[in-house]
Structure 1
Amino acid sequence: MITKLLLVLKKWALPVLVLYVVALTIGSLAHVGGIPSLGSSFDDKIYHFTAYFLFTILVYNYCRTVKLTHVILISAISVIIYGIIIEVLQQVLTSYRTLDVYDALANTLGVVFASLMITFRNKQS
């Protein structure tokens, strides 16, 4: 059963990652309204943290399927760079979004937390 699940995850790693990147890019650059409130003053940062946490796991999952070395480091660095590029594009391409250092920080914290979780999970296996 586990072997079949791993094969399915391998098979769908790239399509799931590509769909996520497209959705994240559109969500980051489009004029999005009506995002549900979580009831805090920093909802936006929670969404950033969560999105980049999941993004890191998806990139890691894909990188594992292509048997790269230093998978966690490559995943973390590539997701952080993507986040910075998106923040710059928000400033340059849109009139309704701005570059926010705190968004980039929330993104990076999501990446770091996911990377630590993956590292600890791998050490226990």
Structure 2
Amino acid sequence: MPHIKHLLADKPLLFIALLYSCAISILFFIPNPELPKVHFSAMDKVAHSLIYFILVNLWMLYLFIKNNFIFSNRWIWIVLLSVLLYGIIIEIFQQLLTTSRSADIMDVAANLVGSVIGIYFFRSIKNKFKV
């Protein structure tokens, strides 16, 4: 019975991380014709940072629990590079596939900042998840 409980323990987190990833993918492609075109909007960059902060923490929490509360630097790099690549791909697709959105290197930078802050945050609190 403990083995079954362990196998099912991380499934809700995986579902939440996947659902969140899909939701933000859709969000980044919703047209925004009402919004004014601004070259640098501080609130937009804060929003990108927050979105990626949450994204990184969801995936790191899932991997932390899945790996029996052990989290190596290898996983940190995998999560960081995956999320960074994901953000770059989203920006490229925004440029290529939408008419109301465009690629912005500053969005990628905000994504990276949110991701790095998320990693440091998770590393500082991860031991509180051990039961």
Report matched runs for 1:73-112 at 5 Å. Answer: 73-112=77-116
In our comparison, the structure showing a higher alpha carbon Rg is 2
Matched residues in 2 for 1:64 and 1:105: separation? 26
| Equivalent residue number for residue 21 of structure 2 | 21
Matched residues in 2 for 1:111 and 1:54: separation? 8
User: Displacement, 1:122?
Assistant: 4.3
Report matched runs for 1:8-87 at 5 Å. Answer: 10-32=10-32, 41-67=41-67, 69=72, 70-87=74-91
| Greater Cα offset, 96-105 or 9-18 | 9-18
Structure 1 unmatched runs, 5+: 1-5, 36-40
Q: 1:34 to 1:94 in 2, by over 3 A?
A: closer
Structure 2 unmatched runs, 5+: 1-5, 36-40
Q: 1:84 to 1:43 in 2, by over 3 A?
A: same
Q: 1:33 to 1:10 in 2, by over 3 A?
A: farther
Matched residues in 1 for 2:22 and 2:103: separation? 20
| Greater Cα offset, 68-77 or 112-121 | 68-77
Matched residues in 2 for 1:16 and 1:84: separation? 22
SS of 1:99's equivalent? coil
Question: Aligned residues, how many?
Answer: 115
- Give, as a single letter, the amino acid of the residue that structure 2 aligns with 1:20: Y
Matched residues in 2 for 1:63 and 1:123: separation? 14
What RMSD in Å do the two structures reach over aligned CA positions?
Answer: 2.7
TM-score normalised to structure 2 length: 0.75
Q: Is the 8 A contact 2:10 2:62 kept in 1?
A: yes
